[in-house]
């Protein structure tokens, strides 16, 4: 029997490059997704429709492509004037740095830090993901302006590359996209977004990886199977602190092993002290019973992959009200599991006796897990923080160390 893993994700090895490529692709999806592929320089190809129209890319790609053109036509055409570091600039400020800031944002160099400049700064902050757009040019805003439009155009291109790897038009009747950049999930019916909801995704230390997988079944009223390493570092430690009442108080049971014929055993027959010290290898199977206390609560949506990632319900509904939802160990927590189940199954499966039940989907549903740090808007794009640092990793993958000027067919300087 394979080494038991339990229900916690496995970290992506550092030897595997993240940033653009899928780190895992289900073998049955190899014709519609690839683990590695050479990225394209969309800054050069975007303005040549014949170069990138084969296979009609995903709608999210088209939206970002339009957003890039709008970004270049607005922010990209402004003077790329550098502004020296210094104190925050705000209404009433004067001096050379204010004049440079005005020039950088396309205004006359004279006029001081007036309402017009404050509005221009606020608009820049709103587009470039700088938190509350307060119209004050502080350290972060000045640093962002000094990066220049090239940096942000390249970030849009990186996100276009990720979106290009999502399902092409007519690849599937329906599919799911988990966007760990936005901490949202989108469901597509015939290439149109049918619905979306908030999710909780991996924290920066336990990132949700970029993958293409098949969701095959769900477990209603699931157990939470504690991984052997956590049996040592968590369960045995808790027993040492709280005694054997820990199991009853927190709704756990102990099985003799991980095999199909395992039997429930009395926790007092296990050498928890030896397990906690590392001298005894934990061979028992510890699992948390189904119920509102369970970390997966009512349903777990399974999709076999190398990293133990899945979608599930959660008892912590309060987290979905937060804007920052990069909080999990890598798995994806759903805001409304019933709505999601209703879409993938056509109904909401129920268990008959409150015990775990496996329910197969009518047919497997493709799930593409990506990471988008740029969102298309009616007027261009907005940028999100690069929480995972994947954009920084993707820069050399997409553009290398080159600073060569790329010029669009319409003459726009894209360097």
Query: In this predicted model, what pLDDT tens digit does every residue of 266-298 receive, in sequence order?
Result: 999 999 999 999 999 999 999 999 999 999 999
Mean local confidence (pLDDT), 176-201: 96
* Helix, strand, coil percentages for the chain (3-state, nearest 5): 30, 20, 50
Q: Averaging pLDDT over each range in 33-47, 130-144, 395-409, which range is the top one?
A: 130-144
Residue 251 domain flag: yes
pLDDT value of position 377: 94
pLDDT value of position 413: 33
What is the three-class DSSP state of 293? coil
Residue 216 domain flag: no
Active site residues: 312, 331
Cα gap 317→198, rounded to integer Å: 11
Kindly state the DSSP code that residue 325 receives in the 8-state scheme: -
The band of 55, judged by pLDDT with boundaries at 50, 70 and 90, is low
Q: Which domain does 232 fall in, by range? A: 224-288
pLDDT value of position 147: 95
- Given a cut of 70, is residue 48 above it in pLDDT? no
Q: Which of 53-57, 96-100, 315-319, 402-406 shows the lowest mean pLDDT across its residues?
A: 402-406
Kindly state the DSSP code that residue 315 receives in the 8-state scheme: S
Give me the percent of the chain exceeding a pLDDT of 70.
93
- Given a cut of 50, is residue 406 above it in pLDDT? no
374's CB contacts (< 8 A; 6+ apart) are: 64, 67, 155, 156, 159, 381, 382, 383, 384
Which of the pair, 71 or 14, is modelled with greater confidence? 71
Residue 261 domain flag: yes
Q: How many domains does the chain have?
A: 1
pLDDT value of position 401: 63
In contact, 80 and 66? CB cutoff 8 Å:
no
For 173-188, how does the pLDDT look when each residue is reduced to its tens digit (9 = 90+)?
999 999 999 999 999 9
Residue 152 domain flag: no
pTM (2 d.p.): 0.90
**Pairing, β 264-265 against β 252-255:** antiparallel
105's CB contacts (< 8 A; 6+ apart) are: 78, 117, 120, 121, 124
Residue 312 domain flag: no
Residue 270 domain flag: yes
**Pairing, β 211-220 against β 192-202:** unpaired
- Given a cut of 80, is residue 47 above it in pLDDT? no
340 to 24, 151, 346, 349: CA distances (angstroms): 23, 37, 9, 11
Cα gap 181→183, rounded to integer Å: 6
Residue 58 domain flag: no
Q: Transcribe 91-119 into DSSP letters.
A: TT--SHHHHHHHHHTTS-S-S-S-HHHHH
């Amino acid at each position: 029997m394979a080494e038991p893993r339990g229900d916690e994700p496995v970290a992506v090895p550092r030897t595997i490059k993240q940033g653009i490529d899928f780190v895992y692709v289900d073998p049955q999806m190899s014709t519609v997704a690839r683990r590695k592929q050479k990225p394209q320089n969309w800054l050069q190809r975007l303005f040549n429709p014949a170069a990138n129209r084969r296979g009609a890319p995903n709608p999210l790609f088209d939206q970002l492509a339009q957003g890039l053109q709008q970004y270049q036509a607005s922010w990209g055409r402004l003077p790329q004037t550098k502004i020296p570091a210094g104190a925050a600039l705000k209404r009433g400020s004067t001096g050379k740095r204010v004049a440079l800031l005005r020039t950088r944002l396309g205004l006359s160099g004279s006029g001081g830090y007036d309402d017009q400049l404050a509005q221009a700064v606020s608009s820049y902050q709103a587009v470039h993901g700088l938190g509350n757009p307060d119209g004050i040019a502080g350290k972060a805003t000045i640093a962002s302006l000094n990066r220049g439009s090239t940096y942000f155009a390249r970030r849009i291109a990186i996100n276009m590359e990720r979106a290009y790897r999502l399902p092409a038009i007519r690849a599937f009747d329906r599919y799911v996209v988990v966007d760990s950049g936005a901490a949202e999930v989108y469901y597509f019916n015939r290439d149109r977004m049918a619905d979306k909801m908030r999710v909780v995704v991996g924290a920066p230390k336990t990132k949700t990886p970029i993958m293409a997988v098949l969701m095959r079944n769900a477990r209603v009223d699931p157990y939470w199977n504690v991984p052997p390493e956590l049996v040592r570092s968590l369960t045995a430690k808790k027993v040492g602190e709280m005694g054997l009442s820990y199991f009853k108080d927190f709704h756990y049971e102990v099985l003799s092993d991980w095999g199909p014929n395992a039997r429930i055993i009395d926790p007092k027959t296990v050498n928890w002290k030896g397990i906690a010290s590392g001298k005894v290898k934990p061979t028992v199977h510890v699992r948390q019973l189904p119920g509102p206390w369970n970390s997966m609560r009512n349903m777990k949506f399974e999709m076999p992959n190398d990293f133990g990632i899945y979608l599930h319900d959660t008892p912590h509904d309060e987290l979905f009200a937060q804007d920052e939802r990069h909080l999990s160990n890598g798995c994806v927590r759903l805001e409304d599991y019933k709505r999601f189940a209703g879409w993938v199954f056509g109904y909401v499966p129920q268990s008959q006796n409150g015990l775990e039940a496996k329910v197969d989907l009518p047919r497997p549903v493709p799930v593409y897990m990506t990471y988008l740090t740029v969102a298309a808007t009616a007027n261009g794009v907005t940028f999100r923080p690069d929480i995972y640092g994947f954009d920084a990793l993707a820069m050399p993958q997409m553009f290398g160390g080159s600073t060569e000027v790329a010029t669009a067919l319409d003459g726009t300087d894209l360097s």
